[in-house]
Amino acid sequence: MSSTVSGKSGTWRNWAGNVTARPAREVTPASVEELSAAVRQAAEDGLRVKAVGTGHSFTAAAATDGVLIRPQLLTGIRKIDREAGTVTVEAGTPLKRLNLALAREGLSLTNMGDIMEQTVSGAVSTGTHGTGRDSASIAAQITGLELVTADGSVLSCSEKENPEVFAAARVGIGALGIITAITFSVEPTFLLTAREEPMSFDEVTGSFDELFAENEHFEFYWFPHTGNCNTKRNNRSAGPERPVGTVRGLFEDEFLSNGVFQVANYVGRAVPATIPSIARISSRALSARTYTDIPYKVFTSPRRVRFTEMEFAVPREALVETLRELKAMVDRSPLRISFPVEVRTAPADDITLSTASGRDTAYIAVHMFRGTPYQAYFSAAERIFTAHEGRPHWGKVHTRDAEYFADVYPRFGEFTELRDRLDPERLFGNDYLRRVLGE
């Protein structure tokens, strides 16, 4: 066994600070062979195994008291196949590094989420997504993956090879094995023009169907305690490139969206009564702007203000009704919410436990500033979301269990049967998986 496999132990914390774990040992394998050996060793020692990325999940999906696998040495691009339009990347590669490396090669993912701190395997395993009328989540852009299973063997999966594992493991919540490499479908770099502008809540909800249909990527943020929204539409563009100016970018993205926002949240946390006034000011702080740039510079933005988040996927046709119910609930409650509510969409996909599996989807995400009690707000929101057959993001706060998922995911049984076959001893199990997938 190499020295990387002995590992040290200590307390592991996620990004938001709401989940901690004390693994028996940590392992940082430098190759797929070392990872397989670590999995076999854990089984011999009677310890469970979890791989952890950058800890951007708000759930305990990666927590373990057994062996914690850190994939930071399994990074980089393995192979670019320009003819097939694919790139194969090691599982521990952060999305940020993937985006930069692809840009250097004149390539890009078709769609992505709005932050790029996560590892590729962490992002896909929990179903991370951006917004898109026709283009779906990051996992839906996978054409192949490599998985180390409970007996230490390495499975290659694609539509042709182990297709039933491929259907499930693209969003596998870490339950089927440890992903070691992912092949994504990519395309030549293109330009996106982003148009950001304020609109009223009634305007956006009243014309949501048109806004969705007319734009390749549409999303909006509603500021609780106000009737104000900020909208963002991204569409492909013939150019020329017109990035956000450095000064304006620093002011709006760093100062307003991170710096002032952080201070406003500290004030709101200390004196909740000030939140509605702060919300009215911050919902008007960002003016309309238009810019054109390469995809990752348009899709993603820095998020330095730490928060806790819950997000549910509802059928797209139920979005407006769900959102109006959420607004009515906030308006009549004593809750004070300093973070905007984010709304995005995704087309139906064919991944067993993807939140968009088999249905056109809209996402509603609610956030609370880190350190602020979120339970009352999140429970009230969750009651509204579940009344519309909402499916929670696997990496964000929720209280749903296997019984609920068996109802809202038509192929839930397919996933659990596959898990019984691949990991009968629950080597990759933990408390979170026991709750969401059953025994």
pLDDT digits (tens, 9 = 90+) for 39-64: 999 999 999 999 998 898 999 999 99
Identify the pLDDT of residue 250: 57
- Window from 157-171, 268-282, 346-360 with minimum mean pLDDT: 268-282
Q: At residue 7, does pLDDT exceed 50?
A: no
**What per-residue confidence (pLDDT) applies to 267?**
74
pLDDT at 9: 54
Q: Is 278's pLDDT higher than 80?
A: no
pLDDT for the residue numbered 247: 59
Q: What is the DSSP string of 94-160?
A: BHHHHHHHHHHTTEE-S---S---SBHHHHHHTT-----SS---SGGGEEEEEEE-TTS-EEEEESS
- Separation between Cα atoms, residue 86 and residue 70, nearest integer Å: 26
Alpha-carbon gap, residue 185 to 88, rounded angstroms: 9
Report the mean per-residue pLDDT for the chain: 92
CA-based max dimension of the chain: 62
User: What is the helix (H) or strand (E) element at residue 343, kind and residue range?
Assistant: strand 341-346
Residues present in the chain in total: 439
Q: Which of 7-16, 303-312, 394-403 has the highest mean pLDDT?
A: 394-403
> What pLDDT does 302 receive?
75
Residue 129 predicted with pLDDT over 90: yes
What pLDDT does 242 receive?
Answer: 93
Q: Which range (170-184, 291-305, 323-337) has the least confidence?
A: 291-305
Region 344-370: what's the mean pLDDT? 97
Q: Amino acid identity, residue 142?
A: I
pLDDT at 246 over 70: no
Radius of gyration of the chain, Cα coordinates, nearest whole angstrom = 21
Query: Residue 344's closest CA among 114, 127, 172, 141?
Result: 114
